[in-house]
Structure 1
């Protein structure tokens, strides 16, 4: 049995919006990062730098949100598979968190490089 619906552009958009709504409702880290993104975007609009630098900051900021969503998906799948504390389950969650940490670090480095260069 295949759990894959027939492709439909509009249905895929609905699935994506359902995922975003679920993330906003259930994932506190994503909510915090989305809240911070509002201020980051305002900051990007007001800093005196080139359009290229502003795009770098915007893209790395969006990257943080994307990686957080992927991490949340990994955590949900792990929780679905097992409620036990298993070394592989812990590794999967920890590695996903590391990816989030790296994306935030990249974003911070870009801000520092652009502001002080």
Structure 2
């Protein structure tokens, strides 16, 4: 490989070809995420909660907020899985920085779930009380 050859062939693509290949890469990312049990469980919750948002929300802003918090949980879970994959690639041996990275990713998922839960509880409370 010469100095002029890019490490990432995606960098040479332009226009629709770049968009198409980026979409394929994203689909591969969803497939990788689907292999994670936590992501599958959250997708099942999202399949129930997103349609329910149209019933619970009283305005388009409430509906959007309810849906956004659900999607945020999925996004954070995918990022956490990416962090864990990168750490696992480095090596299987225990290291305090690897543990910290995985723990921080897990904490981010927990915070996103707590945020989603809080918004949904508040919306349900307002809807039924």
TM-score (norm 2): 0.84
Q: Give the C-alpha shift of residue 90 in structure 1.
A: 0.6
For 2:19, the equivalent position in structure 1 comes to 9
Q: Give the C-alpha shift of residue 41 in structure 1.
A: 1.2
Q: Which runs of 5+ in 1 are unaligned?
A: none
For 1:112, the equivalent position in structure 2 comes to 121
For 2:87, the equivalent position in structure 1 comes to 78
Moved over 6 A (4+): none
In the aligned structure 2, how far is the partner of 1:52 from the partner of 1:45?
11
For 1:65, the equivalent position in structure 2 comes to 74
Is the CA contact (8 Å cut-off) linking 2:57 and 2:63 kept in structure 1? no
Larger radius of gyration: 2
Query: Structure 1 residues 52, 107: closer, same or farther in 2, change over 3 A?
Result: same
Q: How big is each residue's C-alpha offset from its partner over 1:72-115, in whole Å with a ceiling of 9 and x where there is no partner?
A: 00000000001001111110000000000000110011111222
2:62 to 53, 58, 62: 53
Q: Give the C-alpha shift of residue 48 in structure 1.
A: 5.2
How many residues get paired? 116
Residue 116 of structure 1 aligns to a residue in which SS? helix
Q: Which runs of 5+ in 2 are unaligned?
A: none
TM-score (norm 1): 0.92
1:41 to 38, 46, 50: 50
